[in-house]
Structure 1
Amino acid sequence: MNDKTLNIEEVQCLVWYGLTTRQIKSIDLDAFDKLYDENTVDFDAWLEKAERLFDKEYKLGIRILSIQDVEYPQSLRAIGDDAPALIHLLGDISLLQPTDSVAIIGARASDRDGLSAAYTLGKRYADEGKVVVSGLALGCDRAAHEGCLDGGGKTIAVVASGLDVTHPAENKPLQSRILANGGLLLAEQHLGVKANPTRLIARNRLQAALSAEVILAQCPEHSGSMHTMRFARKYHKKSYAVAFSKAAEINGGNRLLIESEQATPIKLC
């Protein structure tokens, strides 16, 4: 970091001002000062708010990286304006270094076969030493995280809220287990922000970006997991879907992706 690089409070101020990540990436202290002089009242309020928020995060052990930091993960930097200007991290940030991470995703309301697929894949990739990425949701996400942990692996949970909020609340013990076993929580939201449908979809792009491969365990044709698979194709990630022997509405998304050759089938039995 040089003396022209912005601190995280200044970057957050630019986010609230409405600049894109690409714009924020190229703004130095001189350009920031010019904007500050033109919007002093707003910038003073934003900077004070950011300082209060981030001080609370530091006390909770949360690390914050901006797009201008050298430690900001290249996997996120590579997606351009889709990258968050700031990320909030709790746990082992070394898991963000270049790896062959695998995202395992799927529907919250999966059946027994879907949950088994997610768990089996999570454990398999943990056994291979790969980092498993998922979204800390119920259903397939939870099964993938648990399979990874049971296999002695490390897992990254990408969440759609601030790191002081567990969504859903039922996964609080799983979140604690992830951290206790050397994993990582990642959010683009600051403290106090709750998950909503828009943020959950936005969360999906980060799962795809962080991973070399994205695997759909199970979902119907209309599911948030299909957003993640679209992001995987947009970012040129290897896309896979579990192939089920029996067609059902709950695995319709898998069939659609496989039959349209948008994902390579994986057979688990």
Structure 2
Amino acid sequence: MTEPQTHRTFEDLVAEGAAVPTEGWDFSWFDGRATEARPTWGYARAAGRRLARASAALDIQTGGGEVFDFALGTAAPDRPRLLAATEGWPPNVTKASALLSARGAVVVALPEDAPLPFADETFDLVLSRHPVRAHWAEIARVLCPGGTYFAQHVGPASVFELVEFFLGPQPEAVRGGRHPDGERAAAEAAGLEVVGLRAERLRMEFHDIAAVVYFLRKVVWMVPGFTVEEYEPRLRALHRRIETEGPFVAHSSRHLFDARRPARRP
């Protein structure tokens, strides 16, 4: 006979969410505690199909390398001869280097805003999943003529139900940031042709306050400077809400970019 689950206090849950390591982009800890619907296009597998046709590929802001590693696994044995990735956060650089070296990929430690340390026209495929910001001129520079930028971006007002619970209503300029139309214009201004752009808004559920704490610690740009101590009153209020009303519902925003550097004319 299974014993009934002991009710867990606010303090216990918050302590658990505050103790989980945040390096990498492995979100398996959330299993049973939070859910997020996935975009219909299946980015990692779609990236794997692109990798199987590429000769030189770069993954920008690779995190812990988990998504790039999965995509390379689906492309094997037809993966590119030249593989590189960039990442700015030191714990992620260490994790990605250990993971991707087995695939023959070199991971370069690089701040998010720094120019890419690669020669012009080096790659025929550039990938990125959830870059903080796309540096379109640099992407266009390192792409070969005819090469492709294939990426999944975070869209406008993503998870803003949670953001505004902690920070209050946000200005429209903030809510509308990362809009796919604005990013399309920036890509085209850098000389790229946007051949495909899809957007979806996806349901998320947080089932306990530990998941909220971990999420805000891991995705640091949601509530900048988040700490349990500073936001303890709002965390308590959200804990009570989840206990009385059920999961806290938010919506993520994602868009898929398929952009191409024009081929040279004969």
TM-score by length of structure 1 reads 0.36
Which structure carries more strand by proportion? 2
Instruction: Work out which structure has the larger RCO, using CA pairs closer than 8 Å and 6 or more positions apart in sequence.
Output: 2
Which structure carries more helix by proportion? 1
